[in-house]
Structure 1
Amino acid sequence: MDDMMGTALPKSLFVNRELSWLEFNKRVLLESLDDAVPLFERLKFEAIYFSNLDEFFMVRVGSLTDQSLLDAQKTDDKTGMNADEQIAAIIEKVASFAPLCESAYGVIRQQLKELGVDLVDVHRINQVEELIAQKYFLEDILPLLSPQIIDRHHPFPFLKSKEQYVISLFAAKDEVIKLGIVPVSHLPQYFVFSVDNRQKVVFTADIVCHFAQKLYSKYEIVEKNILRVTRNADISVNEGLFDYDVDFRGIMQELLKKRRRLSIVRAQLAQAPSERLRRHLCKRLGIASDHIMVSGIPLDFSFGFSLPGNLNLSRKDLSFRELRPSLPIDFSKRDAIKYCTEHDVLLSYPFQSMKPFIDLLYAAAEDPTVVSIKISLYRLANRSRIASALCAAAERGKEVLCVLELRARFDEQSNIDYAKLLEDAGCTVIYGLSDYKVHAKLCLITRKVHGKIVHLTQIGTGNYNEKTAELYTDLCLITSDETVGQDANDIFGALCMGETVERTRTLWAAPNCYLDKVLCAIDEEIAIQKAGGEGYVGIKVNSLNCMEVMEKLVEASRAGVQIELFIRGICCIRPGVEGYTDLLTVRSVVGRYLEHSRIFVFGRGSRQQIYIGSGDLLNRNTHRRVEVFAGVRSPDLRARVLEILDAFRRDNVKAWDMLPDGSYVKPPRTGDEAALESQIYLQEYFAAPFEEEGQPQAFGGRLRGLLDRLGGRARKR
């Protein structure tokens, strides 16, 4: 076996990053086909699928397109595919999902029809619908349209990313192409009206296309269609822009303008075009023919998010049952600083509220012993209470340092705005590092008590964002451990100097003290296993493609170490491959909340290590970002973290198991086996308040097995 480890691992053991992500998005899509999911939620899941796909083309396909031009021979280190081969595989796989998309839409449309709601197909419109649609077009739409004629005398206009255009091909005596183009995305996406007690939903782009001839009375339209383009959004910041005398906020604003004009990577059409129109669009848009995708459903599916709120349907069974986050501790009734100094605190979002952490920040702003608050910010909510608390602290004379990462993709403008607000309040704002994104979720409250400096440190798996804390599953650890506080202080000190910390005492901190810590921990489990013990590795992250980690996991599996990977999205290693990953399993959970927490568990019993933090196991997290992880040491908090993994282990409703060929299947369930949905279970598990002494609540049957797992008898799948 040791000799085998000296040879290169076969490419067939790994999955391409992009294709693995598409498999994840397929699992999202399949939620829209699950009859057990309420109707409006299924509509939203299909909207999420398309929103995800937009961003994927903008970022990942955009990046591969650039790579194919700049370094065509560069290959994926896992599968050996170059950029063009990856793009071709992506196009093929996305096309293979089209029947699922249309099937989901068809089922949703039929069930809405049974409830008295018609999503009108303008190709099958009846006379009454036609008259109402025409009235709406003439009175409300037509005055707002700006149709353009495109021929040899009029240039092809710039098409904005993710916006819809109605295009018309005119009859001509010669071979010259003459088009009409009219943008429609500035209009309401749809309108709803009632006929005979039925609600009718008509999409504006469909109406404009249907009545396009009324826009061009002097021309004969021989073909018309709806067009939507997706542009490359993969902009990067040149290292030189970080010179001390450059206005980085201004540079980012210029780059955002540039992003809006990057090349087109995909075009969508509402119906199959003629070969003549297809060739013309390929030439004008600068794309290959296979990058034109035809869809039989609405091109802009974002209506799925708003439509339920605009329909007159009051049935509660059409949406998920409301689950309110519990308030595990109310700091309005006790001293937050004192409590967190005496007890480690673990909050589990969205099952528990973020309010205790926000209250802690406000308490720090008021507390006379607090001298400074330092925090790393990546994505903030609109009207952020966290930002307000930081401003309040600065206005009360506290030193407030905000490491604000302006390069949080698609949140750049929001972060630019917050930078101005925080600076105006008196906070010191720095923008991170030239070579690394600061992705860590780290907050350090420094106090001077009786002449001695002490710290409260918060380490999280998710952003300081109240909105996403209601939608994403994340963990927030607050500790008064001085070793942790000293490490956090060193990390912020390095960032202020434009550097990354070289060594830490107890925290894991990328890029220098994360990957090696993970590899070392796996090595320890290999050594334990080879010495006759029982090695164990449990990892919950969003994505895995780091070759160093995957190679080490193969080594561990071959040594006999049991490995459980709980990975929501990208997973580039195949489980259960004979002779390589026999003892490695991969499970993904896709449910009503987005799984986002990162958890590492190594070993069993008294030697067991548990870490939570901000980084996945993608190359960008291990090599190109600042990430922070902290050990969970309190026995009751460790038990709660382990219960999260056990809930995943027992989920037989929303779990998907990866097969050796890279595909995913639902785990089998016997007829008498009770259904267990991990997120619903954890909602109940985390509902109880903290006890004063910080011990876990007596959850009855829900705590069964916790002591066994802490003692080394983890349940196996």
Structure 2
Amino acid sequence: MSDVQTTEASIDLSSSEYYFNRELSHLQFNIRVLEQALDESHPLLDRLFFLCIFSRNLDEFYEVRVANLTQQLTFAREQAGADGMHPQQVLSAIHTLCSDTVERQYRILNETILPALEQENIHFQRRRDWTEEQRLWVEGYFRDSIQPLISPIGLDPSHPFPRLVNKSLNFIVELDGKDAFGRETGLAIIPAPRSLPRIIRIPDHLTNGGDHFIFLSSMIHEHADELFPGMEVKGCYQFRVTRNADLEIDEDGTNDLASALEDELHSRNFGEEMRLEVADNCPSELVNFLLHKFSLEANDLYMVNGPVNLGRMMEVIGQINRPDLQYTPFTPGLPKNIKFKKSIFESMRERDTLLLHPFESFTPVVDLLREAAKDPAVRAIKQTLYRTGAKSEIVNALVDAARNGKEVTVVIELRARFDEEENLYLANRLQEAGAVVVYGVVGYKTHAKMMLIVRKEEDRYKRYVHLGTGNYHAGNARAYTDYSFLTSNDVMGEDVAAVFQQLTGMGAALKIKKLFHAPFTLHKKLIELVERERAHAEAGHPALIRLKANGLTEPKLIRALYKASQAGVKVELIIRGMCCLKPGIPGVSENIEVRSIIGRFLEHTRVYYFLNNGKDEVYAASADLMERNLLNRVETAFPIESNKLKDRVKSELEAYMLDNSQAWVLQSDGRYVRLQPVEGEETIRAQSILLATLATTSS
């Protein structure tokens, strides 16, 4: 045995030292999002957008990931991942990282973003800066629009601490004096009306031009004394609590998943407390009082220098008409074979089509369904829906198809997190139109993106298929990068029909010829493809693996990639978010590079590429490289077989590997280092290249 083989054999690739913790890796992605707020290559309002997105991402992280870790401890169900960290260790590390990052976020807001906005005559006015006219206007707005909706709650034995809604804006008020009943409690809570905007625009005639806004919290602070007549308001401090918002449903123990979900949705607003955010000028005794009432510890507390929910600042972006402070609009491209055909069915019969959103239009996908809904030759339509939007053109077309007598079957994933209520509404709407609606398979979320249209042509039925890496959501298709694949390939049609049969009916797993599908074959096939590339390297052939996904956490796949690296395979991973694989470890992963692209659009495509000794194979997929996707969901990976389309995907992956401006490279110690062009080097941004190549930018 050679020295190299001996070294490889002596390395335990299951050892925790070779894995990052997924939760901490997830947080690192959110930090990279926050960094965009400082990146002056982004327009100013887009930098504000990134600052807000960080807040929203962190909210969800606490609502789901921190909640899960906390529950593991509460119910003695501790689970250590491949990294070996105990949940308590993870929670402690999360607090340290989040405390520093949240403090930095508010510094970015106060010291960078707000001053830059003021330079552009966009102002968030503090009370001390109000003019007399503005102060009178605020007084009228408070009395007319705010005070009638507020119900202040004095705290005493007959008015216990209220049950406050998840992430709602509230105020704790310190009072002096007695009320009309002679009570002298000293404390009250003001829940801000949820129906009111958190930021209000000052009428233009009260300003000297530009855009001027006031926070709802400032208006309530200014007039809090009017809510407690005859008493002195000694202090008024904003706070909010974040709760566990992950729904727990016993799918095996319910006969009606939709009804069970409806019952659980209300409880989302009142789950267990996970985090407390309080204005940093709040006295320590009031902070401790709130921590006690929410049964939280000091590690769960965030004292913030500004609004307790920065995510709501996103509301103002749509109220500011400053195109010079936002990205230039663009028109998504259309392939010629679709652009110049009267019928999408005709173009699909002619050749396969690959669309890369948002650089290319999502309209052909919608138009395919619209055409099918009206076409007398179309007999049946089958569709999966995961996240699709409340005002979905896709759903409108499915409703029209059902009303036009087509056999419409829709597999709706009711458990798409935070879209459950919307999906229940869509399910009811489709059922009322006459569509057959099913909710997938108990225990397995249906995450595959599939559309199947069956059309009668001459003496046979012809299948037309759409497969995608992203959801059937037109809004997301303008903000997320995703592939759409349109084909009339007969074998592909048979495969998709078989997957639908497994979803809607019962029976043994059917043989699938071209697709890989979870939870049956995808995980196994991916590892086989990695091992095949390893065998090519061991035989002395060039070997290359490129995988692009939103997350990589599945240990068996990571071990297979380590072994491929040890054999000399070049492994290039474009992983947007969490990554548990450690690159650059001598003898283990020195041939592996991991990069994350953070730019104007949210990277969402999932692509698997294997050189295969010159007979390269390319797959696009709905699945990330995570346990839940590969083992516990219904997912599909579909081959790109046309040489022209295959070459195109390869070149687009190459653009991401050449990016030297929006790429963050993962180090073996867990840090991400942003690449910068060296002096004299051309600036390369993959998203800019794709935008210039595939879309038309407005002048």
TM-score (norm 2): 0.93
Q: Name the counterpart of 1:97.
A: 101
2:442 counterpart (434, 441, 464): 434
How many angstroms does 1:459 deviate by? 1.2
Structure 1: distance between partners of 2:51 and 2:138: 26
Match of 1:178 among 182, 187, 193: 187
> Which residue of the partner structure matches residue 588 of structure 1?
596
- Measured after TM superposition, the shift of residue 605 of structure 1 is 5.8
1:654-689 per-position Cα deviation (integer Å, ceiling 9, x unaligned): 11111111111112412212212211210222249x
**What residue number does 2:266 align with?**
257
For residues 514-534 of structure 1, the C-alpha deviation after alignment (integer angstroms, 9 at most, x for no partner) is 100100000000111001111
Pick one of 286, 290, 314 that aligns with 2:299: 290
Aligned to 1:610, which of 602, 605, 618?
618
Aligned to 1:403: 411
| Cross-structure match for 1:674 | 682
The 3 A distance-change label for structure 1 pair 213 and 499 is: farther
**Once the two structures are superposed, what CA deviation does each residue of 1:100-143 show, in whole Å capped at 9, x if it has no partner?**
21232121111121222322233676767655544543444333
Give the Cα separation in 1 of the matches to 2:144 and 2:398.
50
Matched, 1:55 2:74: no
Matching of residues 290-309 of structure 1 within 5 Å: 290-309=299-318
- The one of 513, 517, 529 aligned to 1:521: 529
CA distance in 1, matches of 2:461, 2:235: 75
The aligned residue for residue 3 of structure 2 is none
Does structure 1 residue 357 correspond to structure 2 residue 365? Answer: yes
* Other structure's SS at 2:383 match: strand
One-letter amino acid matched to 2:106: E
Instruction: Tell me, yes or no, if the aligned pair for 1:150 and 1:181 is still in contact at 8 Å.
Output: no
Which amino acid in the other structure matches residue 305 of structure 1? M
Q: Are 1:24 and 2:29 counterparts? A: yes
Residue 113 (structure 1) aligned with residue 121 (structure 2): no
Number of residue pairs the alignment of both structures matches: 682
| Aligned residue number for residue 78 of structure 1 | 82
Alignment deviations for residues 579-638 of structure 1 (CA, whole Å, 9 cap, x no partner): 211000011111111110100001156421100010001111011100001000001111
On the 8 A contact 2:551/2:575 being kept in 1, the answer is yes
Whether the aligned pair in 2 keeps the contact of 1:502 and 1:513 (CA below 8 Å) is no
Quick check: 1:321 aligned with 2:337? no
In the superposition, the TM-score normalised over structure 1's length comes to 0.90
Q: Distance in 2 between matches of 1:497 and 1:63?
A: 33
Give the distance between the partners of 2:141 and 2:309, measured in 1 at CA. 20
C-alpha contact (below 8 Å) 2:451/2:467 kept by paired residues: yes
Decide whether the 8 Å contact of 1:228 with 1:269 is kept in 2.
yes
CA distance in 2, matches of 1:331, 1:385: 20
The answer to whether the 8 Å contact 2:352/2:488 transfers is yes
The structural deviation recorded for 1:169 is 2.4
User: Are 1:502 and 1:512, in contact at CA under 8 Å, matched by a contact in 2?
Assistant: no
Residue of structure 1 equivalent to 2:171: 166
1:443-454 equivalences in 2 (<5 Å): 443-454=451-462
Deviation at 1:196, TM superposition (A): 3.8
Q: Which of 231, 245, 258 is the aligned partner of 1:219?
A: 231
How far apart in 1 are the matches of 2:297 and 2:603? 36
Query: In the alignment, which of 232, 240, 254 is matched to residue 244 of structure 2?
Result: 232
Contact 2:127 2:222 in 1 (8 A): yes
Mapping 1:183-202, distance limit 5 Å: 183-193=192-202, 194-197=206-209, 199-202=211-214
Residues 1:288 and 1:502: Cα distance change in structure 2 (over 3 Å)? farther
Q: Decide which moves more: 97-106 or 454-463.
A: 97-106
1:206 Cα deviation (Å)? 2.2
Q: Check conservation: 1:376, 1:442, Cα contact below 8 A.
A: yes
Residue in 2 aligned with 1:574?
Answer: 582
Write the distance in 2 (CA, Å) between the matches of 1:3 and 1:583. Answer: 14
Distance, in Å, in 2 between the alignment partners of 1:500 and 1:296 is: 59
Deviations 1:243-278 (A, max 9, x none): xxx333222111111222211111111224333222
CA distance in 2, matches of 1:519, 1:440: 20
Counterpart contact for 2:330–2:695, Cα < 8 Å = no
Per the alignment, do residues 144 and 259 of structure 1 end up closer, same or farther by CA in structure 2, a change over 3 Å counting? Answer: closer
Q: Given the superposition, is the C-alpha separation of residues 102 and 444 from structure 1 closer, same or farther in structure 2, using an over 3 Å criterion?
A: same
Closer/same/farther in 2, CA of residues 331 and 672 from structure 1, 3 Å limit: closer
Contact 2:168 2:191 in 1 (8 A): no
| Distance in 2 of aligned mates of 1:378 and 1:627 | 12
Instruction: Output one character per residue of 1:276-308: Cα deviation in whole Å (capped at 9) or x when no partner.
Output: 222221221121122121111211223432213
- Structure 1 residue 86, shift from structure 2 partner: 1.6
Shift of 1:327: 2.4
Aligned counterparts of 2:579 and 2:508: Cα–Cα separation in 1: 28
Per-residue deviation at 1:205? 1.0
Whole-angstrom CA distance in 1 between matches of 2:64 and 2:245: 5
Aligned partner letter, 2:546: G
- Equivalent pair of 2:661/2:676 in contact (CA under 8 Å): no
Higher mean C-alpha deviation, range 348-357 or range 169-178: 169-178
Aligned partner of residue 330 in structure 2, secondary structure:
coil
Structure 2, unaligned stretches of length 5 or more?
1-5
The amino acid that maps onto 1:296 is N
1:156 aligns to 2:165 (yes or no): no
Output aligned runs, 1:59-70, within 5 Å: 59-70=64-75
Assess if the C-alpha contact under 8 Å between 1:393 and 1:400 holds in 2. yes
Deviates more, 1:247-256 or 1:496-505: 496-505
Q: Distance in 2 between matches of 1:279 and 1:557?
A: 52
The equivalences for 1:320-469 within 5 A come to 320-329=327-336, 330=338, 333-469=341-477
Distance 2:590 2:430 in 1: 52
Deviations 1:211-242 (A, max 9, x none): 32332234343432101111111113212245
Deviations 1:508-562 (A, max 9, x none): 1001111001000000001110011111110000011111111111111111100
Tell me which amino acid in the other structure corresponds to 1:115. E
**Which amino acid is 1:530 matched to?**
E
Instruction: Return the offset for 1:480.
Output: 2.0
1:557, 1:316 → 2: CA distance? 47
1:506 equivalent in structure 2: 514
Structure 2 residue matching 1:226: 3-state secondary structure:
strand
Structure 1 residues 303 and 634, CA gap change in structure 2 (3 angstroms): same
Gaps of 5+ in 1: 689-717
Letter in 1 for 2:352: D
Alignment correspondent of 1:37:
42
Secondary structure of the corresponding residue to residue 260 of structure 1: helix
Amino acid at match of 2:467: I
Aligned residue type for 1:47: C
**8 A contact 1:233–1:262 mirrored in 2:** yes
Q: Cα distance 1:101–1:516, how it changes in 2: closer, same or farther (>3 A)? A: same
The 2-side partners of 1:633 and 1:249 are apart by 39
CA distance in 2, matches of 1:582, 1:177: 63
How far is the alpha carbon of 1:176 from its aligned partner?
A: 7.1
Please say if 1:683 is aligned against 2:687.
Answer: no
Q: Which amino acid aligns with 1:190?
A: I
One of 490, 506, 518 as aligned partner of 1:482: 490
Q: How far off is 1:167 after superposition? A: 1.1
* Deviation readout 1:398-447 (Å, 9 max, x if unpaired): 21111111111111111111111111222111111111000000112223
Measure, in 1, the Cα distance between the counterparts of 2:75 and 2:274.
16
Q: Is the 8 A contact 1:341 1:480 kept in 2?
A: yes
Could you tell me whether the CA contact under 8 Å between 1:166 and 1:184 is conserved in 2?
Answer: no
